A = this chain, B = another copy of it.
Amino acid sequence: MSKVVTFGEILMRITPLGNKKLKQSNQLEYYFGGTEANVAISLSQFGNQTQYITVVSDDFIGSAVKSYLKQLEVDTTSIIELHHPLGLYFLEVGAVMRSSTISYNRAHSAFCHIEPHMVDWDEALHDCQWFHWTGITPALTHNAYLTLKEGLQVAHKKGITISADPAYRKDLWNYGKNAKDILKELIMYSDIFIGGPNEINELLGTHFEYTNEDFIAASKLLLAEYPNIKKVADKTRVSLNANWHKIISRMWTGTEFLETKELEITHIVDRIGTGDAYAAGLIHGLLHYSDLKALEFANASCAIKHTIEGDANLLSEKEVLNIIEGNTSGRIIR
């Protein structure tokens, strides 16, 4: 199988049990998660070789992060340890029309102390076929942006396929740079764009709507402006409420519009990390399947992640293929 490298921040998620509010009980659960780590983990479960680059604390929490990644077959040899705490967030889980609420504690995390030249990109990207990045990383600190750019430049030079999930988060980007300027610069190193009208509007200042027509038009414009980009893949979600969603995916392949069938998740177990499961499914699909099957795989990977507790999709390639083949009745496997 192929080797995929991802780079970004991993956080500890701490949450009261069930739907309780923090003040209702002193019992908590924790998970680790970060968008790029989730992608790497999911790709490992699909059978790929993966490496994840990040910064963790030099204590028993950083050690637990590395244990978690090793347990799930992600190479941790390039992970940096610094004497700063791991970032974390608290999550109160909502239901139906009640929103989940997140309180972050990440502004001064170990990852935010990353500096250029800390990562040996040449070694980390050795023998790598695919590099994945998201818009969260350059949003954190100027140095995180610079370090990511280092990585993109090395990856580009090595001819590695690069996927970009430009996920724009308004509440980050506090270090004085303009999100659009930086994302535009980084997009230039990327081959696959994971996003749709929203993300393209953010980047190009356009006003495309959510329709398939507009998705195609927006994609064409994006490819015109960034000829390095070959494909645009987008997941559309209808949220009936916090427990019930529907997912369809669509792709502009440069020449063709593709769309998957709809998957309905009537009883969501965990909403977090479903976009990352989509990205991992897409990367796995594009590495091993046709475009259409890749899109169906990404859509199914996203859907089934809603049934897994924690941030990362722990299902195997076989289990996701099973969904594509129409086995969505959830029968017991003995």
Footprint of B on A, CB under 8 Å? 14, 18-31, 57, 59-61, 63-64, 67-68, 70-73, 84-86, 88, 90, 92, 94-105, 107-108, 169, 171, 239-244, 263, 265-269, 271-272, 303-304, 306-310, 314-315, 319, 322-323, 327-334
Is the CB–CB distance between B329 and A90 below 8 Å? Answer: no
Is the CB–CB distance between B95 and A334 below 8 Å? Answer: no
Is the CB–CB distance between B103 and A328 below 8 Å? Answer: no
From known contacts A95-B267, A241-B328, A263-B97, infer whether A105 and B102 are also in contact, taking CB-CB under 8 Å. Answer: no
Q: How far, in whole Å, are A23 and B304 apart by their CA atoms in the complex?
A: 18
Q: Closest residue to A84 on the B side, CB-wise?
A: B107
B contact residues around A266 at 8 Å (CB):
96, 240-241, 243-244
Is the CB–CB distance between B332 and A102 below 8 Å? Answer: yes
Is the CB–CB distance between A71 and B61 below 8 Å? Answer: no
Shortest beta-carbon distance from A274 to chain B in Å: 11
Is the CB–CB distance between B23 and A25 below 8 Å? Answer: no
Is the CB–CB distance between B329 and A242 below 8 Å? Answer: yes
Shortest beta-carbon distance from A120 to chain B in Å: 22
Is the CB–CB distance between A90 and B60 below 8 Å? Answer: yes
With beta carbons under 8 angstroms apart, the residue of B18, B23, B85, B303 that contacts A64 is B23
Q: Closest residue to A245 on the B side, CB-wise?
A: B329
Q: Closest residue to A91 on the B side, CB-wise?
A: B332
Could you give 8 example pairs across A and B, Cβ below 8 Å?
A: A22-B61, A67-B72, A94-B330, A95-B330, A98-B308, A102-B332, A242-B329, A242-B330
Q: How far, in whole Å, are A272 and B331 apart by their CA atoms in the complex?
A: 11
Shortest beta-carbon distance from A17 to chain B in Å: 9
Shortest beta-carbon distance from A212 to chain B in Å: 22
Is the CB–CB distance between B334 and A97 below 8 Å? Answer: no
Is the CB–CB distance between B90 and A269 below 8 Å? Answer: no
Q: How far, in whole Å, are A30 and B25 apart by their CA atoms in the complex?
A: 9
Is the CB–CB distance between A96 and B306 below 8 Å? Answer: yes
B contact residues around A18 at 8 Å (CB):
269, 309
B contact residues around A27 at 8 Å (CB):
25, 27-29
Is the CB–CB distance between A98 and B14 below 8 Å? Answer: no
B contact residues around A102 at 8 Å (CB):
332-334
With beta carbons under 8 angstroms apart, the residue of B94, B240, B308, B315 that contacts A307 is B94
Q: How far, in whole Å, are A103 and B60 apart by their CA atoms in the complex?
A: 8
From known contacts A104-B334, A333-B99, infer whether A70 and B73 are also in contact, taking CB-CB under 8 Å. Answer: yes
Is the CB–CB distance between B333 and A23 below 8 Å? Answer: no
Shortest beta-carbon distance from A317 to chain B in Å: 14
B contact residues around A319 at 8 Å (CB):
98-99
Q: Closest residue to A305 on the B side, CB-wise?
A: B98
B contact residues around A240 at 8 Å (CB):
266, 329
Q: Closest residue to A20 on the B side, CB-wise?
A: B309
With beta carbons under 8 angstroms apart, the residue of B59, B94, B330 that contacts A97 is B330
With beta carbons under 8 angstroms apart, the residue of B14, B20, B269, B327 that contacts A28 is B14
Is the CB–CB distance between B105 and A105 below 8 Å? Answer: yes
